[in-house]
Structure 1
Amino acid sequence: MSPYATAHAKPNGPGDARPTALQIIKDEGVEGKLQGEVIIITGTSSGIGIETARALAATGATLYLTARDVAKAQSALAGIFEPSRMELVLMDQASLASVRMLGS
């Protein structure tokens, strides 16, 4: 059973006992251990995309952060964006052409 199962059994919203994504990265000993790897994170202009980027930044991986509104994403990611290993990419998942452009 997952060590986090009990904490997720009765969620009470923000601030409850559930660990953050960053805490799980730390607990699992993954900090700095994904250098040389590439991770794509979608929806990084708000919500869970920002927190996912914050957590996965701790792994040392190169991050491609996608958003429909790059200016909004730049503002949202201001505290964590590291140009040396992160790239912010315009992508609209509703557009197959936009998604394909990321893959090229």
Structure 2
Amino acid sequence: MQASKIIIKRLGYEKAKVMLQGLGNEHDAALLEYRRQNGFFEVGDWVVSTLYGSGDNLFQFESWLVDLEDCIRHANDAEIEANRRLDCEAKEVL
């Protein structure tokens, strides 16, 4: 994954994505980790709601969710494996 990170850093995300996508899990994982660290989403990313009372369901990011980016976060690997949100620290909506 280290080589993928170097490629992303040198080329930028979009160019590295074209080069790395579909070459294997290691490269796809590096692209996902970059999105997680930089707070942006792509269609198909597993996300969870951060709103209070929203439940513990995971769902895949869709383009129409762009307006709700402040209310979602990437699901981590453990949550994807468990198929649910694992924390209970959701934001309360006023």
- TM > 0.5: no
Structure with higher RCO (Cα < 8 A, 6+ apart) = 2
In the superposition, the TM-score normalised over structure 2's length comes to 0.32
In the superposition, the TM-score normalised over structure 1's length comes to 0.30
